[in-house]
Chain A
């Protein structure tokens, strides 16, 4: 009997850790110091609101730095110029038939300002908390507003900005159990994850490179504070469109933090 004891003890130990560790692991603190919004810490009572539990302060004014795909973003490229985009045959057919006059006539000048296109526009962003569970992102290019819902979305979608579900994201293990250091606490900080669906079909690029209503866009918003320099907002995005893209389309778009909204310059959508 004696020889069975160690095995039982080990099992018991693992069982306790399995019960206790996720609880400890889930006791994630609030936002990093100086990154605003949250109250943090482990406190009794209900879990903190998404605003209070913010892993980074993304609020404020941001301006896009158009340093990549410059020609396609600062100017409207000619028809058929879809270099860099993994466009599929159906998408190519639509892009080759792009007619901005037709879009204007149909009142669809904002096709390039939908969620999958507007972040690549030369634009300023204004990010604010609409309430404790809703983050609002306004773009002055095309005067668009995206709404990120941490809870149940209050939008049916079908418009340019679709429906965006938000969550705070940080590196985590599937089985948070560990010997030695016990449950490994996740590092401070993290990303805003936004998944957008139910989009009205629009353009990835102003010259008519399309995305469909079946598009799923997953974005990660990260704030980076350059030591002794600017604060940057980097949006890493994956666009999956089974209709018009041959592969997922990956970009990362960066913005520089602005002291205030003095540069804010809302403009109307332009089809060309």
Chain B
């Protein structure tokens, strides 16, 4: 009983003291620790009344209605090229919504908090969007955003903090998606700043999308939600892809050639708007816009539906995902498979009981640091090195990294015996197993020999047909030859248990494919190789996660990035082919700016691989061989 009294005395004094302390002038208080509690409670069930843009968010927006969007030329042309039938393609059927569109789309939301069970500090705020099961996690614990080479997701990576009465959210690492469902694009380089503010049962979410690829200025929209006291009880959005339209060629991607979108002018005609109005980009957002259209001629309006003539190609505005800090950075992918970033080309390492399997060795400038990083991951020696191509950024470290390894399966084998007998005479097997075994398609070896690469860089263990396989560290590892893709020696490597595909330069997130016709590359082979990757992938949920793809350069991806890249190559191929069929010369094709909608993402006007070189490579591999007219 006495103990109980004491407890209440402590409670009394503590409560009183705390209450009075709260009134004391702030200058006399000790510095307050960071407030762990939310400033406002956003939790509960929320429904958007959709009293703005109801058509867009419900039935769907109309074709070529981009009014009020700050689309730049690339964004406008991308949208005009878009054919809504693209979502009938198997891999697009379950495309989820990106963050900003998720908040704008139809469907209800549920918001809840995640707290540390021990100290009840706020760890995260979760937002669940009913449509496409859009689960967002807004980290509130101060963690940093991932590095530039980390994967992107449809909802991206979000961190939040309370600013006044608002929750301020910053989102990066978003996949390519929609600003509007009629193909108005948002690139994978977009970042989103959001403000959530609650007034009673009215929640307003303001999104600010900054996209250097497709927007000329930030796109601001605000969304309203009403709090409802009951569970909507319908939170799932199951999606499984299937055959929607049969007998399509595998390299068919629905799109419209520039200037050939047959419905592009319907919107303006239907609503009696000036033709330029809905395709004019940022000016259309501001007061007085309607009056300015009186001065736009028909010719000027029509010109907006095609790339601007005589304009120089734009260069990429994407973030460079290479760290370029002289260090090797290790990104765990799944199971015992890692991506090593820093030596220009991506490197993949699989570790286990048997040893280390390395795919590609980077440029070689940081080979010592690559070896050191591998030794941090595994004690066993590097036993195998597979090369996806003969490109210098993928074989540059071969000599050093193989020398740092050993193929211990060889010294005890039959061949070692040969080393003991014949070897004595020839020295042929004297060094057997003393380095890692380098594997590649035979054409890699041929091309490197032709380029006079040092012998200790050239993979000696080669294959000629379509597949090379091993069961290593408890996992099936397969190499699949991709004939005449960017070169004639490309392979992809599939770690089947971890479900990681190493794509080499068949797929990058940084540039147009380096199709090298002189070394056997072709645009058709490249498309086939990208489709081969897509035939091996499985998404985990709504086109996200699942099979992970390591690009030759750029950030860790999954099938969605490969899909958008495949679409891009097919679309550019179709445009070039259409001009070739119409008798165009290379100069005419170049001046037509057929990549104008992709240049702000992948383009380059300087450096080893320019947009002009890419277009030329596509042209040269599509151009019919000259017929022999001699009799």
A84 at the interface (CB under 8 A from B): yes
Residues of chain A with a CB closer than 8 A to B162's CB: 187
A140 at the interface (CB under 8 A from B): yes
Measured CB to CB, the nearest residue on chain B to A220 is B199
Residues of chain A with a CB closer than 8 A to B273's CB: 71, 75
Decide yes or no: A238 and B202 within 8 Å by CB, A67-B220, A170-B165 being known contacts: yes
B12 near A3 (CB under 8 angstroms)? no
A107 at the interface (CB under 8 A from B): no
The CA of A133 and the CA of B496, in the complex, are separated in Å by 70
A2 at the interface (CB under 8 A from B): yes
B115 at the interface (CB under 8 A from A): no
B53 at the interface (CB under 8 A from A): yes
A3 near B204 (CB under 8 angstroms)? no
Measured CB to CB, the nearest residue on chain A to B21 is A182
The CA of A6 and the CA of B10, in the complex, are separated in Å by 11
B11 near A10 (CB under 8 angstroms)? yes
B39 at the interface (CB under 8 A from A): yes
Residues of chain A with a CB closer than 8 A to B433's CB: none
B226 vs chain A, min Cβ distance (A): 7
Residues of chain A with a CB closer than 8 A to B199's CB: 169, 191, 193, 220, 236
A130 at the interface (CB under 8 A from B): no
B87 at the interface (CB under 8 A from A): no
Which of A16-24, A109-117, A147-155 lies at the binding interface? A16-24
Point out which of B26, B68, B69 has the most chain A C-beta atoms below 10 A from its C-beta. B68
The CA of A16 and the CA of B285, in the complex, are separated in Å by 56
B204 near A265 (CB under 8 angstroms)? no
**Binary flags per residue of B266-287, CB closer than 8 Å to A gives 1, else 0:** 0000011100010000001111
B197 at the interface (CB under 8 A from A): yes
Decide yes or no: A3 and B51 within 8 Å by CB, A13-B15, A68-B222, A252-B206 being known contacts: no
B193 at the interface (CB under 8 A from A): yes
The CA of A141 and the CA of B288, in the complex, are separated in Å by 9
- Cβ contact of B23, chosen from A6, A24, A69, A234, cutoff 8 A: A24
Residues of chain B with a CB closer than 8 A to A214's CB: none
Question: What is the total number of residues of chain A having a CB less than 8 Å from a CB of chain B?
Answer: 81
Point out which of B8, B55, B219, B288 has the most chain A C-beta atoms below 10 A from its C-beta. B288
B186 vs chain A, min Cβ distance (A): 14
A252 near B223 (CB under 8 angstroms)? yes
The CA of A13 and the CA of B7, in the complex, are separated in Å by 13
Please provide the chain A residues from 189 to 242 with a CB less than 8 Å away from any CB of chain B in the complex.
189-191, 193, 220, 222, 224-227, 229-230, 232, 234, 236, 238
B515 vs chain A, min Cβ distance (A): 38
Decide yes or no: A254 and B222 within 8 Å by CB, A188-B164, A224-B166 being known contacts: yes
B25 at the interface (CB under 8 A from A): yes
B287 near A182 (CB under 8 angstroms)? no
B5 near A187 (CB under 8 angstroms)? no
A233 vs chain B, min Cβ distance (A): 10
A226 near B193 (CB under 8 angstroms)? yes
A187 vs chain B, min Cβ distance (A): 4
B286 near A63 (CB under 8 angstroms)? yes
Point out which of A27, A85, A122 has the most chain B C-beta atoms below 10 A from its C-beta. A122
B252 at the interface (CB under 8 A from A): no
Decide yes or no: A13 and B11 within 8 Å by CB, A74-B68, A169-B199 being known contacts: yes
A75 vs chain B, min Cβ distance (A): 6
B224 near A182 (CB under 8 angstroms)? no
A24 near B22 (CB under 8 angstroms)? yes
A229 near B289 (CB under 8 angstroms)? no
The CA of A248 and the CA of B47, in the complex, are separated in Å by 14
A32 at the interface (CB under 8 A from B): yes
Residues of chain B with a CB closer than 8 A to A193's CB: 199
B558 vs chain A, min Cβ distance (A): 30
B53 near A68 (CB under 8 angstroms)? yes
B222 near A252 (CB under 8 angstroms)? yes
B50 at the interface (CB under 8 A from A): yes
Decide yes or no: A234 and B222 within 8 Å by CB, A67-B285, A183-B22, A265-B287 being known contacts: yes
Point out which of B67, B170, B223 has the most chain A C-beta atoms below 10 A from its C-beta. B67
- Cβ contact of B22, chosen from A2, A182, A252, cutoff 8 A: A182
Point out which of B49, B198, B226 has the most chain A C-beta atoms below 10 A from its C-beta. B49
Decide yes or no: A236 and B204 within 8 Å by CB, A67-B69, A67-B221, A251-B224 being known contacts: yes
Residues of chain A with a CB closer than 8 A to B23's CB: 20, 23-24, 27
**Binary flags per residue of A163-195, CB closer than 8 Å to B gives 1, else 0:** 000000111000000011111011111110100
Residues of chain A with a CB closer than 8 A to B41's CB: 171
A224 near B195 (CB under 8 angstroms)? yes
Decide yes or no: A71 and B65 within 8 Å by CB, A123-B287, A232-B206, A254-B206 being known contacts: yes
Residues of chain A with a CB closer than 8 A to B285's CB: 65-67, 70
- Cβ contact of B5, chosen from A2, A123, A225, cutoff 8 A: A2
A252 vs chain B, min Cβ distance (A): 4
B355 at the interface (CB under 8 A from A): no
B9 at the interface (CB under 8 A from A): yes
The CA of A181 and the CA of B39, in the complex, are separated in Å by 14
Decide yes or no: A68 and B221 within 8 Å by CB, A23-B23, A75-B271 being known contacts: yes
A259 at the interface (CB under 8 A from B): no
A232 near B18 (CB under 8 angstroms)? no
Decide yes or no: A84 and B52 within 8 Å by CB, A67-B220, A238-B202, A252-B204 being known contacts: yes
B579 at the interface (CB under 8 A from A): no
A129 at the interface (CB under 8 A from B): no
A179 near B52 (CB under 8 angstroms)? no
**Binary flags per residue of B209-250, CB closer than 8 Å to A gives 1, else 0:** 010000000111111101000000000000000000000000
B319 at the interface (CB under 8 A from A): no
The CA of A86 and the CA of B277, in the complex, are separated in Å by 27
B578 at the interface (CB under 8 A from A): no
A102 at the interface (CB under 8 A from B): no
Residues of chain A with a CB closer than 8 A to B287's CB: 63-64, 66, 121-124, 140-141, 263, 265
B447 vs chain A, min Cβ distance (A): 47
The CA of A247 and the CA of B290, in the complex, are separated in Å by 31
A145 at the interface (CB under 8 A from B): no
The CA of A3 and the CA of B277, in the complex, are separated in Å by 80
**Binary flags per residue of A46-66, CB closer than 8 Å to B gives 1, else 0:** 000000000110000001111
Measured CB to CB, the nearest residue on chain A to B54 is A84
B424 vs chain A, min Cβ distance (A): 71
**Binary flags per residue of B494-506, CB closer than 8 Å to A gives 1, else 0:** 0000000000000
A105 at the interface (CB under 8 A from B): no
Residues of chain A with a CB closer than 8 A to B8's CB: 5-6, 9-10
5 contacts between A and B (CB under 8 A): A65-B286, A75-B277, A84-B54, A122-B290, A254-B206
Beyond contacts A84-B50, A236-B202, A254-B206: 7 other A-B pairs, Cβ-Cβ < 8 A, are: A68-B68, A121-B287, A122-B287, A183-B22, A189-B166, A222-B197, A265-B287
